[in-house]
Amino acid sequence: MGDHDGGTEAQGMTPRLWAACTLAVLLVVLIVYTAVTIPWHRPPAPRADQLAALGQLPADQVARAREFHAALRPGAYGGMAVGLAGALLLGLTPLGSRLVSWAGRPFGDHWIAQAVLGGLLIVLAAEVLTLPFAAWRHSIVARYGISTQTWGAWTVDVAKSFAVGAVIGALALLGFFTVTRLAPRWWWAFGAAGAAALVVLLSFVLPVVVEPIFNRFTPMAAGPLRTSLMELAARDGVPVKDVLVADASRRTRAVNAYVSGFGPTRRIVVYDTMLTEATPDEVVSVAAHELGHAKRNDVLTGTIIGALGAAAAVIALYLLGSLGWLLRWAGVGTMGEPKAIALLLALVAIAGLLGGPAQALISRRVEARADAHALELTGDPAGFESMQRRLGTVNLSDPDPPAWEYAMSASHPSTVERMAAARAYARGER
């Protein structure tokens, strides 16, 4: 069982040996590139300053934030566990392959129907399993006043999210299984290149095409704040096309701002909630942080890391096709047939879970560097600390989360870490 190399090559290496060597090279490149581009040294944020900042936050706000996160945890981790269990059930038993076959049966078991409709059916089954946990989360964020969405609006967003994922997934699966049919022995090479290209394409396309599906964007009215933000970007040497306001208040009270797009499409986006909740200096502080990402090409760096990781994942999946016991568990003959979709997704789910802490660590380091950039650009540690306090209060962030949860999933430094970094900067510590 498994993908066959057709015996030993008459001359040279077999496709499987080529794949193993290519995977090794990709992993070395990925590790070296990550080591070189990720800022492993973070700006100082002394624990004594963190504790002092925590002690100065209103006790009732800290208690409410911790109560909020305690209420979220059962649903969050329960959904994660059920989602993983569902993926393993579909992927490591013949159930998933049977669902794919069932989806293609009305179309004469055509491989395109199996690839597209079977893939959508597998993803839909996984979504249905975790939907109650997503609804539970919505009920909690609504109860605590973070979400402003009705159940109807929330349902529409869930449907939009699934539709966007379905279109992207269908195109990816169609391309993948086209390659496995046209190049059954070398699909790992073409598939790896295609996966990397898809990651790069989505990085450019998603901000322009997908963001407007969920939010409406309008140019920020001319005035002192818009002028300050454009001057800030010019002073930082980051070309920005426009400053937009997102109608985030349709779904949330949370405040945020970000820089989106590349080159001629780059724009500063500010939530309308921030305009009502934060002071102009605080908005400038958040924009300076986001400009730090653009200045350091963090999105491009993340895209390259993602592309290398996607290429390596495709090759690893090809090599796993030599494990006959794994294919027998899944009820498939090779990794390159549509009936293996559930197995592929199960392996991706396992890899995502195992790689989560490393991704969170990298993200925290990048975010800490952007914080340092904001402090340098604005020269306003008081405004930065005020903004972090505002973000934590309005968004109900746990200012000092449990160490295990922080290590597992925190994509940003904690509120007290960021406040401590501002205090260290004000003392001249770098």
Q: Tens of pLDDT along 405-426?
A: 999 999 999 999 999 999 999 9
Q: Is residue 48 included in any domain, yes or no?
A: no
Helical ranges in 6-58 per DSSP H: 15-37, 47-56
Q: Which of 236, 282, 290, 400 is catalytic?
A: 290
Known binding site for Zn(2+): residues? 289, 293, 367
Dmax over CA atoms of the chain, in Å, equals 74
Q: For the beta carbon of residue 234, count every other beta carbon within 10 angstroms.
A: 11
% of the chain surpassing 70 pLDDT: 97
The least confident of 112-121, 209-218, 281-290, 291-300 is 209-218
What's the domain range around 245? 217-290
The DSSP H or E segment spanning 245 is: strand 242-246
Q: Is residue 230 included in any domain, yes or no?
A: yes
Q: Is residue 232 included in any domain, yes or no?
A: yes
Q: Which tokens in the block code for residue 245?
A: 């306001």
CA dihedral of residues 349, 353, 355, 359 (deg, nearest 10) = 110
Please state the domain count of the chain: 1
Helical ranges in 321-414 per DSSP H: 324-330, 341-378, 381-394, 403-409
Q: Give the whole-angstrom CA distance, residue 71 versus residue 136.
A: 10
Q: Do residues 201 and 262 make contact, with C-beta atoms less than 8 angstroms apart?
A: no
What type of residue sits at position 30?
Answer: L
User: Does residue 11 carry a pLDDT above 90?
Assistant: no
The angle subtended at Cα 353 by Cα 345 and Cα 360, nearest 5°, is 130
Per residue in 156-179, pLDDT (tens digit) is: 999 999 999 999 999 999 999 999
Give the CATH number of the domain where residue 283 resides.
3.30.2010.10
Taking alpha carbons only, the member of 256, 258, 281, 285 closest to residue 375 is 285
- Per-residue model confidence (pLDDT) at position 5: 47
Catalytic residue check, 371: yes
Residues 358-379 as b or e (16 or more Cβ within 10 Å = b): eebebbbebbbbbbbbbbebbe
User: Does residue 9 carry a pLDDT above 80?
Assistant: no
Q: Work out the pLDDT band at 7, boundaries 50, 70, 90.
A: very low
Q: Is residue 259 included in any domain, yes or no?
A: yes
Per residue in 352-388, pLDDT (tens digit) is: 999 999 999 999 999 999 999 999 999 999 999 999 9
DSSP labels, 120-155 = HHHHHHHHHHHHHHHHHHHHHHHHTT-B---HHHHH
- Per-residue model confidence (pLDDT) at position 420: 97
264 burial via Cβ count (<10 Å: 0-12, 13-18, 19+): exposed
Mean pLDDT over all residues of the chain? 92
User: Does residue 215 carry a pLDDT above 50?
Assistant: yes
Catalytic residue check, 9: no
Q: Is residue 277 included in any domain, yes or no?
A: yes
Taking alpha carbons only, the member of 290, 294, 249 closest to residue 273 is 249
- Per-residue model confidence (pLDDT) at position 8: 43
The angle subtended at Cα 334 by Cα 27 and Cα 326, nearest 5°, is 75
Q: Is residue 381 included in any domain, yes or no?
A: no
Taking alpha carbons only, the member of 229, 210, 209 closest to residue 221 is 229
User: Looking at residue 411, what DSSP letter applies?
Assistant: -
Q: Which of 49, 236, 277, 371 is catalytic?
A: 371
Beta bridge partners of 267: 242, 260
Q: Is residue 346 included in any domain, yes or no?
A: no
Known binding site: residues? 289, 293, 367
